[in-house]
Structures are given as structure tokens and as C-alpha cells.
Structure 1
Amino acid sequence: MFQSILVPVDGSAHAEKALEVAAQLATPPARLYLINVQQPPNDIGLLVGGSGMPVSEEVIQKLVKEREDDARKILDKAYAAVKLDGLQVEEMIAKGRPAEAIVAEAEALQVEAIVMGSRGMSDLKGMVIGSVSHRVGHTAHCTVITVN
């Protein structure tokens, strides 16, 4: 059905189910792109217990490394959860606002579809300010399939 699909993964059950659906929709030797978006904190100084004043480069690099490690664990969990035999899989870690990063990557890769969970790890925040899947569905220029 599809030869190129972007699948955002965030460690949630909905994201894993979306990856299962994407694997079913992909016609081998289709390419699946797994993306995890790490959103930087609003105020890194407050995050580390400070007053919002500038923090050292060492502290910033430590936080960046922790986020990359978190993303790696999430991507590894997705691989372990779903059988992806016969599919070409590429993974990426993006930084920024999730919806914008997902749409930008989909456009850059010129994928045919985005398959994503209807809810991710931030359910409460999504209910208050609008879900990532909702924003992606309204701004992407390709097919967007949301999975419950």
C-alpha cells in the first residue's frame, strides 16, 4: 500500500500500536522512518534547580546526553515490540516541538504517510492544549493515519 511511512514513537502503547499498523500498511521493501522527538525544556536553569540564570555548558551537555539516551531507549522499545521483517527501517531523533518536527521531517523525507498514535505519553497536556496527532493531521501535506 505505502512505500514510505513516518512513525513517531514516544514509548506509549498508542505509538507501538501505530507502528504495528504501519508495518501492516507497508509493502516490502517499503521504508519505515521511526522518529522520536525530544522537546527541550522551557527554562533549563529552573529544570536543574536553579533560578533561571544561565547554566554551564557541562550541565547542558549532560541534559542533552540524557535526552538522547531516553530517545534511544524509546526507539529500542519500539523495535522490540513490533516485527518489522522485510522492511527497511531508518530511525531519527529530532529536537523541538513534536508536531512541527514530525511534519517537517515528513516533508523533508517526502513520505507518503504518517502513522501515529492518537495519544502519546502526554495525555493530560494534550487534552489541555491540543494533541500532537491533531496538529499533525491538520498541517501535514501527506496522508495521516491516527491509531487508537
Structure 2
Amino acid sequence: MNFQRKQLEKGMNYVLELIARRYNVNPGKLVDMDGRKVSEVTQLMSRGAYVLIPVGQSFRDTWYFLPDNAIDTSSNKAMIEERSAQRDRLLQRRQKKEQKAKSKSTGRSKSVGAASSSVSPKITFNGRNNRR
């Protein structure tokens, strides 16, 4: 979620109300990933991850995980979009690496199996070479 400065200036209750509308939950409090309550708007980091705790529940009961960049207090729209694009590129690179590693491992097993079927193995027993 992106907040404008005017929204943040209205206070934490207003921010919680906006988050509640977005995620369709009745929020009791917003905490960081360590379970510490975010009581002031100034404690919101620009790129932090947070957990929204519904009314009547504790930190570990139900998790509404708000991932990194879910709350961004930066006022520069271009920078926000660049961060998002940068994250997408990072995820694409990781996915390509995983696919490449997966294809290498399957390619090796196929070549080993093909080589073993075309050549009859040699067995050495007590210093003598015997063919099977």
C-alpha cells in the first residue's frame, strides 16, 4: 500500500483503517516482524514488512502478513515503481537460475544412462579383467 503524506499525518488510527479496508479485516494493531507494536506513523519504515493483528487475537494466532514494500511511505512515485521493477527482475533471474540448474541435472543423468547402455562394463576380479 502506498500512503501519501496527508494520510500519514492523520495518524495511526487512520492508517489502520485504510489497511483494514484494503485487506478486509478488523485490525487491532500493526506490528513489525519481531512482534513490536507500531504505535506511531513515524515508526513505519519505507520498505518494511509488517503483521496485521485482528481485534481479539494475539501476535501468533492469525497472521496477515504484509510483505516487503506493502507499505511504502516514500513520496517519490518513480522510485517506488523502480523498486517494484527491480524486485521483479530479481525474481526472474532467480527463476532462470533454478531452471538452468534443473536442466543441467536432468541432462547429466540422461547422458550417463545412455553411455552405460552402449558400452559393456569391465569387471576386475583379483587382478584379472573379466567381461560380463
TM-score in terms of structure 2 length: 0.26
Structure with larger RCO (C-alpha < 8 A, sep 6+): 1
Give the strand-richer structure, 1 or 2: 1
